[in-house]
Amino acid sequence: MKNKPLYILTYDHGGFVLWGNDVKPRLKELVEWMEKYPKLKIGLDYESFTFDEYSKTDPEIIELITYLLEKYPGRFGLGATTYGQPLSLFVSEESNVRQLTYAVKTNLKFFGQTPNVYAISEFALNNQTPQLAKLCGYDAAILRSHVMGYGYTKTFDLPWGRWIGKDLTEIPAVPTYDEQGRGFNCTTVDNWIMSRWPREGCYWCLEDFEKKFEHISPLLASRYDDLTQDVQDITEYIETKDDYHYVLLEDLPELYGEAKEEIRTNDNDFHVQMPWGYCGNEIFNGCRASEVAAVQAEKLNALSVLLGGISYQEEIEQAWKYALVAQHHDVTICGLLDLARRFIPDSLKLSKDTIEKSSKTLFERFADKDNESLLVVNVNSFDVDEWIDIEVEESFIVLDGESELESVMNDCNGVKTLSVHINLPAFTVKRFTLKNGVCSTVQEFIWDEEKCELVTPSYKAVLTDDGISYIEKRKDSSRVFDNGKGELFTAYIDGESCKSKGKWTVEVFAHYAVATQKGYIGSVPYNFEMRFNGNHPRIDCKVNFEIHNQKIGHTGIAEGLKKSLTIDGHRHEEKLNFIMNVCVDKNRRMVRDLPFAISDWNGAVRKNESYWYPEDDIRYDVEVSHEESFNSTTYMQGVYWLALRDENHGLAVLNRGCMGSLVKGNRLEIPLVYADSYMCGTKMLDGIFDDEFSILPLDEAISDADLHKQAMSYQYVPQVFKLSKGNGDLCEYKIADFNDNNSDVILTTLCYEDGAMFARFCNYSDEPAEVDFSLISGKEMKVSDLLGNVISDVQGSDIRFRPWEIKTLKITV
């Protein structure tokens, strides 16, 4: 009886990042192998940045790839489906888009082809991948993370199906089979066999794989693993097997045919881990800064173009590309500081230069002939209420017509800063007049040094040498969090458990107060600052730690735990953590944002339902009570924010880089520093390391989507410019008419590319939505895919959205 065929997909995982010195020798080896092994079909899982980089620094590599593609069509393929090989659940919504679109465009630019099946080695998957992949032209996907150091997904007992994501978009997909392998610090069993057989304790062979999954047909064994793995033995072995057939990505849709069975995933089916605090969070914070700056630059340049300015598309694209490659999983998880310190500053400089050049058009159009002025730009799709800082040379008050805005002048070491309270509608640019003087309005801020109590218009904060005792809302005396006698930071430093201790100083100004504690945690000095702005609900925090090679964190090895990726760098409990005991009841939800998504979990866990266990605990087929889940430790990770909330109260942490936390009961800890043994490259720290985050107390009136808007406002702060006198013709400019009809539709970017304006929105809701949107200077508006290809018309200005739908509007101007 003839055996069923086994289909084999094998792609070399590598590229410029981490594997640069090995790329050319491997390509030369593949040139020989294509003749030596006539059955062989193989592809390249490189980040597409590799092609941009080597086209300038080593063109021979591009020539070798081009030769292989042209000489062996149907046998040699590209597998590059992201520009910078990110861990996609840790980059922003727009970064997720550009990772895909720039990969497609770069592949086409150099080789005239790009894969039609989305596949990855390490965890570039999330619950919006079906929608994003379809909008980039992919015909199918592989729902597998082949190397699962940092993420793995749900498994399915079928060969092929309709992967249905968050917005119910479907894409045909080959799943990870049940028992094929899932868990951190491992690979799928077929990937292990084809990368390591017959070495390294690989007790399985492909025949074992066939037998284990004999009920799956067609059966696919796939390898997406390092290009340095010695795979010659298994390549020679496969040559001898008549029933083993190589395939490339582009062969899969025809091989499998119509996908009929459902493969449904939810947000929490994508299990991830990151070494928060690694490298002092320098790389994580830098990646966030660069992706935010790129969006701010493209928004401002789009506005400049609308007002008659020049497009800086090339500079913006390069800023994005450097940001995307800085997000490479090996940069972040292996702490490749040399690359991070190259790409992140280069990206930030390009974005800053683009903002500076684009702003010149605004200066010309908005400068007041009689007065110096402030120009504030809100390209968000929601109204903003923010305190904005700008350096000035003398004392000013700020006028909106005849009305005086709340503002404060601050002089710190000779640097004058104007803090001004701005309320600005969505899609609005507005000029405010500057006059010499000091703001006449004052709000109530009281600092009682003897009691160590700070009273603001919104809160009372009680402080101790041990940290923060509690913060409560003034309107109803309900506590936001309560740390008893006081906590601020805890850590395991040089073998000892430590708590922070220091002295507070509080400065009270007319409209804000700053509480600063300087102290030590173990041998590490720190400077922690909380700023309370007027009656704004958000409490903005900054901290820096001066570290000189102390061991910070605990690997668990002393407790006899196995040394592995799931421990080293991923055990958050003993890192240098910020502490809050949140005042919510046991029915609290854990809520977080993900790319183009908001996900929550209320603590109830049913059998076989996805659950956020600690990263080294992958129990799935057990009943878990609410009480057990409440008392266990959970690692919760969001992109811009995460929150604990019950029906009436809650607290969110908005971050500017570190996206992780651990939760036990209502104790919320944010890991800020880790420097100890780590499998992917121990990085001890020497210098000053900074973090910024914000505490946002919640009440029942703030929906999850409104919370997301506030988090985006914290990230994408309205841009402000000081204008000299001039002959501008504008005082206020409406970028677009926008009525969200009380929906949760949010703009993620506005950009000018290839002669058209693009506005991208997402409906952050389980309900359908309809908005009215029209760009003031726009002419014809269409719906496009993520590559700019028109896919449908728009009737008037009414735009309809499915739940969680991403929609890009292409507008001629």
Taking the CA atoms of 52, 53, 55 and 61 in sequence, report the sign of the dihedral they define: negative
| Spatial CA neighbour of 250 closest among 137, 115, 104 | 115
| Spatial CA neighbour of 693 closest among 511, 544, 583, 500 | 544
Which residues 6+ apart lie within 8 Å of 701 measured at CB?
none
Question: What are the tokens at 587?
Answer: 């029915």
Peptide bond into 198 cis (omega under 30): yes
What is the per-residue pLDDT for 629? 67
What is the per-residue pLDDT for 608? 34
Question: How far apart (Å, rounded) are the C-alpha atoms in residues 709 and 744?
Answer: 9
State pTM to two decimals: 0.96
Question: What are the tokens at 76?
Answer: 């040699």
- ∠ CA 466-471-473 to the nearest 5 degrees? 170
Which residues 6+ apart lie within 8 Å of 311 measured at CB?
301, 305, 752
Strand (E) or helix (H) holding 649: strand 649-655
State phi, psi for 408 to the nearest 5 degrees: -140, 130
What is the per-residue pLDDT for 185? 83
Question: How far apart (Å, rounded) are the C-alpha atoms in residues 487 and 470?
Answer: 9
Dihedral of CA atoms 370, 373, 379, 383 in degrees, nearest 10, equals -100
Question: What are the tokens at 35?
Answer: 């003749």
In sequence order, the β-bridge partners of residue 341 are: none
User: How many other β-carbons are positioned within 10 Å of the β-carbon of residue 65?
Assistant: 22
Query: What are the CA-CA distances from residue 493 to residues 47, 279, 292, 549 (Å)?
Result: 37, 15, 33, 10
| Spatial CA neighbour of 806 closest among 765, 775, 778 | 765
DSSP letter string, 247-315: --GGGHHHHH----SEEE--GGGEEE---TTBGGGHHHHHHHHHHHHHHHHHHHHHHHHHTT----HHH
pLDDT in tens, 391-435: 998 899 999 999 999 999 888 777 889 999 999 999 999 999 999
What is the per-residue pLDDT for 560? 46
What is the per-residue pLDDT for 561? 46
Which residues 6+ apart lie within 8 Å of 721 measured at CB?
359, 362, 363, 374, 375, 377, 390
| Spatial CA neighbour of 779 closest among 806, 746, 812 | 812
Residues of the chain predicted below pLDDT 70 = 1-2, 556-567, 602-629
Residue 272, Cβ density class (10 Å: 0-12 exposed, 13-18 middle, ≥19 buried)? buried
pLDDT in tens, 108-129: 999 999 999 999 999 999 999 9
